[in-house]
Structure 1
């Protein structure tokens, strides 16, 4: 991921600049900030490597296959009710409601 790599190089540059300022001015106040910037640079570089590795793993995975659905036969047996059963059901519904 290029953004993480650019941020890593920016952190390295900032760390080097802070280290240089700390050594030139002989004030070691900037030294912890330089070390922290270097650690951040390493963290960004490792993050970029992890993202690249996960992207490669994802790209090598096989494409997911849809689940196989059992097909029903075209003429599956339907429950058959006679006309007298249907009319009896309708009469029961009329009586209830």
Structure 2
């Protein structure tokens, strides 16, 4: 960790080295990079004609889709919990 409070880590994503910097833990950054690498590899295996940039965009779209679906589920669960809390009052 540097004096600025940020962690720094070099990761390999889809055969390229990237230097990450952030306040998240090293383990978290490594986990996120590994997830992106796995997703890009998964998409790349099924689409041999696509270049790296297109694989990266498709990966971003897939991850964004996962995020929005999970966010919707989270909001639905929050509503259920709030409704239950109101009923118990």
Q: Same fold (TM over 0.5)?
A: no
Shorter-chain TM-score: which interval? Answer: 0.3 to 0.5
Structure 1 or 2: more strand by fraction: 2
Q: Which has the higher contact order (CA 8 A, sep 6+)?
A: 1
Normalising to structure 2: TM-score of the pair?
Answer: 0.42
